[in-house]
Structures are given as C-alpha cells and as structure tokens.
Amino acid sequence: MMLNEKIQEYIQKLPPSLQQEVMDYLEFLIAKTEREDKEWSRFSLSSAIRGMEDEPELYTVADLKVKYS
C-alpha cells in the first residue's frame, strides 16, 4: 500500500473534528515549508552575491546604450 493511501485510510477512521485538525496541521506544514523555501532562496541569493558590491564596475550605462548612426 502506498503512503498516500495509508494516510487516507487513517484519516477516514477519524471523526470529522479530528479530520479538521489533520487538515489544519497539513496547511500549517505546507505554509512552513513554503516559508522555509523562500528563506533558503533568499539566503542562497545573498550568499551568491556576497562581496559583489566591492568589485569594480566593468560597464557603465553608456556601454549598454545602443548607438544608432
């Protein structure tokens, strides 16, 4: 039996009030996971660009403008 089937089987054995508690807990876990994912992404990005502000600029805005003759 697959895990999701076993979980469904257990949930069906619970009274509706406890099924609602399971639902609330699942929503909490999902929100927590999404928050942790966002925090990890923010941490990864800040780690990746750490120290870049100290690097010399290689290009200016003028370098990026397309010149038409």
In this prediction, residues 58-63 reach a mean pLDDT of 79
Mean per-residue pLDDT over the chain, rounded: 84
- % residues pLDDT > 90 (the chain): 43
* CA distances in angstroms from 19 to 2, 6, 15, listed in the order given: 20, 15, 6
CA gap 22, 18 in Å, rounded: 6
Report pLDDT for 67.
63
Dump pLDDT digits (tens) for 13-45. Answer: 999 999 999 999 999 999 988 888 777 777 777
